Chain A
Amino acid sequence: MRGGVVNAFGFLKSDKRLLRAEPDFRPMARLLQVNWLYVLLVCLLAGVGYIALYSAGGGSAKPFAGPQMVRFGFGLVMMIAVALVSPRILRMVSVPIYLLSIALLGLVLRMGHVGKGAERWINLAGMQFQPSEFAKIGLVLMLATWFHRIGNERMGNPLRLVIPAILTLLPVVLVLKEPNLGTATIIGVIGATLFFAAGMRLWQIVLLVAPIPFLGKFIYGHLHDYQKARIDTFLHPEHDPLGAGYNIIQSKIALGSGGMWGEGYLHGSQGQLNFLPEKQTDFIFTMIGEEWGFAGGIAVIGLLMVLTLGATLIAIRSRNQFGRLLGLGIAMDFFLYCAVNLSMVMGAIPVGGVPLPLISYGGSAMLTMMFGFGLLMSAWVHRNERDPGFEDEDD
């Protein structure tokens, strides 16, 4: 058994051997390994974003679309650059990145810029920066590294899961304190998915899931009033049509007025007349749905689905646990962004500042997402690196 032989060498040596064994791991060669089809799809999504922001700017690139494309340009370069970074290096930097993200979360609680009733932003060299976005990437890197190190075998030992659980809960709690319920939930779900995919035993899962209803009740009791209000307005938006329920109602009205084929580009009455709240950020999809109709909306959802499933497939294709978990983490990040944002604009879940990736206006989300795509692409480029100690044969 080759696995056994490799195993005997220990994993550092094995890595070196593999690196030597694969001649096309020089930068230019690795550039060719980038999944350009996926990059094209990412660019397509950003293109949709440009078109939508152009309309949100009242038929002008001026306030939103132009700057957003500049950021996308930066992001694209960053994505390709990150894609070429070896997972070995990524594993080495994962702990510092994670710690940095936690530190930033702590910082934002201390001195954050208050926006929309929550301390979420900090100023980084003149740029508004949202550490909770960064924390997601940090957590994905951290957990992927951790689970990669312990391997599937040792997942059976519950004690091995205590530290990653703490690593997951730490950013969740910090983001919850900002308070940002939506992002905290997303971080928690990403962490849980990685636990699940890393091979957590089923009995452990049952044991963990069983107390959730009670926990939920406890958490609701500790929610901020505005968070409770969001849940209440979600359940009964008609009670306060001009207050918090306003956004949901306006969004649904705008979508409904789009109909099957839409009111035409730049002719959405609700969006263009500013009935849509935050149309360039959280409610950008509503604008698309109004102007392009169901046809346009479902096309965008289709594109988001292709990108989500593609990312998950990239994760599956990786031959090493790190790449797999990294890819799945990014795929979940992207997916959860999309799902939460779409549910929000369609009035399916309470409103909470979650943007639609690459389409909503905003630099912080755009750059962290592109960084994430870079990590995903790195997992793809280096998909054939094998787990050294825990070689799998069923490939």
Chain B
Amino acid sequence: MRSGRGVFTRRALVVMAVQAGVLGALGRRLYNIQTVEGDHLRQLAERNRTSKRLLAPARGTIHDRFGVALADNKVSWRALLMPEETTDIAAVIDRFSQIVPLDEHDHARIERDLKHVHKYVPVTLHEFLSWDDMARIELNAPSLPGVLVDVGSTRLYPFQDLTAHLVGYVAPPNEEDVAKDTTLSLPGMRVGRAGIEQTQEALLRGDPGSVEMEVNALGRVIGEIDRVEGQQGEDVRLTLDVGLQGKVLEYLGDRVASSVVMDCRNGEVLAMVSTPSFDPSLFDSGVSHAQWNEWANDPRTPLVDKAVSGLYPPGSTFKPAVALGALKAGAVTAQDRFNCPGYFDMGGVRFHCWNRWGHGMVNMRDALKYSCDVYFYEVARRCGMDPVKAVGNAMGLGVKLDIELPHVRSGVIPTPEWRQQHGFHWNGGDTVNAGIGQGFVQVTPLALATYVSRIASGRNVQPHLIRATNDQMSSLASLDAVPVVDVPKEHLDVIRGGMFAVVNEPHGSAPKARLDLPDVQMAGKTGSAQVRRVSRALRESGHFNSMNLPWEYRPHALFICFAPYDNPRYAVSVVVEHGNAGADEAAPLAKQIMMEALARDPANQPQPTGQTVAQKEPVQG
């Protein structure tokens, strides 16, 4: 008979051998893991225990010349969701969206993030929480398991659209930026996308710090081990006077216009306005498609800084440059008189003066004063474009100006060579047209301000916006170091005299620009630049009035000026797109702006007794 117990005992002993063998093998494996591989694994453990994280440096702030903040950092809150800390993610998101509304875009992004990140990586629910939102979330914390509020920093532009073009804006870095500089992948890092924010990126960004933290497997911080403070971005102080900037914007109103106010002694830009503008803070959180399209399709180009990127035919404001070129080339003297019958014939083509009855015999000063076209047709014909281009470039027209802004356009002073490079033949009529700043001549409002500054001060001023970085004054701020411009003083005096007459003498072309001040005079020059050729038939019909044209075909209105005439301090350029006539539209604006600039001048403020303000004598001669 088979013994059940015998079989069992034998087989149970086999089982015991297996049990002992398996547990023994596990013991051996434990030995291997803990001692043989121990060192290697211990290193991994150390890495596990600490986590080095980079700290986003605070971005440098931007101030105006008096220390008013133009770009600042503001604490902001964002809501994060720790997926592992909640059992019902959908319900939490649902409850959250009842407290802080989430749009479809947010929902899609959250869903995508939840799918792609591990459950111990937080997912951003909402980037920019208001104080109220944050308070509501904290209040509802018990019903929002896994939701936490994280402190970050957003860029604040207190003056919004007033300084938008100038100061620019920041936006989250794109993949290209991150590829160039991996520290940009830090949460909260922003990249300057326009204006000073863009050009001074290197200064403003700063260096990231790092913090070594003890973290658990869930990525949660247990404690801090070591901290290396980063270098905060440098603060930038601009030459801008935001008060004046505001006034200029107010004067320009809803015109599509641009104006630059410059200290003509050293090139400091005190105001630089381009209208219409936009709200730069929208870029920090991401501009919506609709908003972007609206801006991009607006014929008034709100995103373009017209002061540096807007190219306009200068019209008659170009005449001083033509005059200087002709004087320098010796083609004419200031005393040479030419007869203006109201038209100028050349090569079978008739060029008209703005005054169809003509100005009679005029010299250079009178021609500037009346803005006589025929005189400058003749001068241009005599001297050709090359001397005009040489002097124009020296005065800041048609050259790249080295101001701290992106997308600065240089404009054009055309010459036959330039025209040929573009594959066209230069006609004599082109020279004549260029003589009154029409045709191919193109300038920016900034270039006009630079040009009039150099005329006024006789110094080769460089337009600039940065007065100081981290309280280190810019070398350009000095009034003494500016070199003299490469134009004889006598020539400049003729121009200044003509520009004085424009504003202050009877029959000058811009009486509306006369200052309402007893002992301060302004000198200026008008300009009305056609954007469309006026047909002969229309002109001769006698019924031509550019005000009857559709807005986009009306001439641009320009005005350049400086004051005080006897001791030039400020230069102003105004361009009103399709403003029709410089004398009527731009000149009164320039006068208002100049009055404001003079009124704000610290030298004109009542001084505390016992103190005198050192008056520099910057003007050549």
Contacts and interface: CB of A to CB of B under 8 A. Distances in A.
A254 interface: yes
Interface in A353-382: none
Contacts of A152: 2-4, 7
B214 A393 contact: no
A258 B34 CA distance: 6
A256 B23 CA distance: 19
Nearest to A319: B5
A45 interface: no
A315 interface: yes
Greatest chain A CB density within 10 A among B24, B44, B45 is at B45
A259 interface: yes
Given A250-B217, A275-B217, A393-B3, A309 B12 contact: no
Main SS of the interface on chain B?
helix
Contacts of B26: 301, 339, 342-343, 346, 348
B2 A199 contact: yes
Nearest to A255: B33
Contact of B20 (A305, A315, A346): A305
Tell me what chain A mostly uses at the interface: helix, strand, loop, or mixed. helix
A151 interface: yes
B40 interface: yes
A273 B214 contact: yes
The 8 closest A-B pairs by CB, nearest first: A256-B41, A152-B4, A274-B216, A257-B45, A275-B217, A294-B34, A392-B5, A273-B216
A313 B31 CA distance: 27
A197 B596 CA distance: 107
A263 to B, nearest CB: 9
Nearest to A315: B12
A151 B8 CA distance: 12
Contacts of B27: 298, 301-302
Q: How large is the interface on B (under 10, 10 to 19, 20 to 34, 35 or more residues)?
A: 35 or more
Interface of B: 1-9, 11-13, 15-16, 19-20, 22-24, 26-27, 29-31, 33-35, 37-42, 44-46, 48-49, 118, 214-218, 220, 222
10 contacts: A253-B44, A257-B45, A259-B42, A260-B38, A273-B216, A297-B34, A298-B27, A312-B15, A321-B4, A324-B12
Given A301-B27, A321-B4, A289 B19 contact: no
A22 interface: no
Interface residues of A, number: 63
Nearest to A334: B19
Chain A CB within 10 Å, residue with most, of B2, B11, B34? B34
A86 interface: no
A293 interface: yes
B9 A308 contact: no
A330 to B, nearest CB: 13
A79 B16 CA distance: 23
Contacts of A328: 8, 12, 15
Contacts of B16: 309, 312-313
A277 B217 CA distance: 8
B6 A297 contact: no
Contacts of B39: 256
B384 to A, nearest CB: 74
A186 interface: no
A316 B13 CA distance: 8
A395 to B, nearest CB: 7
A395 B16 CA distance: 20
